[in-house]
Amino acid sequence: MKIDVVTVFPEYLQPLDLSLIGRARERGMIDLTVHDLRRWTHDVHHSVDGAPAGGGAGMVMKPQPWGECFDELIPEAPTGAAGPAKPRLLVTSPAGRPFTQAMAHELAAEPWLMFACGRYEGIDQRVVDYAADRMEVTEVSIGDYVLFGGEVAVLAIIEAVTRLVPGVLGNAASLDDESHTAGVLEAPAYTRPAEWRGYEVPPVLLSGDHGKVDRWRREQALLRTARARPDLLERLDPGSLDKRDRLL
């Protein structure tokens, strides 16, 4: 998978050199490049923003550097070489479509993702409209709160997406029952020792009875979901319920 990130703060994306994503990049499974938007400015101050049309507080990212960035990074016509002609463009915005595990799966199937990190009061809307006439564009948000800019959102999205790319995660089985894949949250986890500061690992987990362990985990998962995310239980597909599930 090819990933480009365009930002005015490339240093913000340094964590992508670390850990599992760094390893996936070294192994060639993820081809990720971070670009400084100021590379496509021409004035001495490398300015990327301007006052909002119509007035108001804050600054808006101006279209010119974004346009020249797209011109350079995205070929106008297929070159005939291998690889996709156009990326799927993700523009970060608190006004975007909510990012979910389902969208992570959708993005993990794309051959080329490009992230445009919005800063200040956002990017001039014509950048989005221009791109949408030429490629698939999704404005995306990671939750109902406001960040200074999209960089942290892009870190979260890239982490959620790349761990679904085959070969990136060491143990693919850990993708199966995790929180949000099954529509309910995961049961709590424990490890050794069996007793710690007077707190015990639930004895069923040490019983060796896999059937009982599965049933306990299922009940804990439903209980946890009812407490922390009742909205998820309401949206649960009745077909995913087991006849032994007792909904509280």
92 scored as a contact of ligand 6GU (CB under 6 A) = yes
Residue 152, marked binder: no
Stretch that binds ligand 6GU, among 4-12, 43-51, 54-62, 89-97 (CB under 6 A): 89-97
**Judged by CB under 6 A, does residue 7 bind ligand 6GU?**
no
Query: Least separation, in Å, of the C-beta of 161 and ligand 6GU?
Result: 14
Q: Does the footprint of ligand 6GU cover residue 153 (CB under 6 A)?
A: yes
Q: How far apart are CA 19 and CA 208, in angstroms?
A: 33
Among 145, 197, 210, 230, binds ligand 6GU (CB under 6 A): 145
Q: Quick check: 141 and 92 in contact, CB under 8 A? A: yes
Q: Which residues of 178-203 are buried (b: 16+ CB within 10 A; e: fewer)?
A: ebeebbbbbbeeeeeeeeeeeeeeee
Grouping H, G, I as helix, E, B as strand and the rest as coil, residue 18 is: coil
Q: Candidates 21-29, 81-89, 141-149, 192-200 — which segment interacts with ligand 6GU by CB under 6 A?
A: 141-149
Q: Which of 142, 164, 187, 205 binds ligand 6GU (CB under 6 A)?
A: 142
Beta strands in 151-227 (DSSP E): 195-196, 199-200
Question: Does 223 carry a binding-site annotation?
Answer: no
149 touches ligand 6GU (CB under 6 A): yes
**Binding piece for ligand 6GU, criterion CB under 6 A, among 18-26, 62-70, 145-153, 231-239:** 145-153
The three-state secondary structure class of 180 is coil
Nearest alpha carbon to residue 159 among 4, 20, 6: 20
Number of CB atoms found within 10 A of residue 233's CB: 16
Binding site for ligand 6GU (CB under 6 A): 92-94, 96, 118, 140-143, 145-147, 149-150, 153
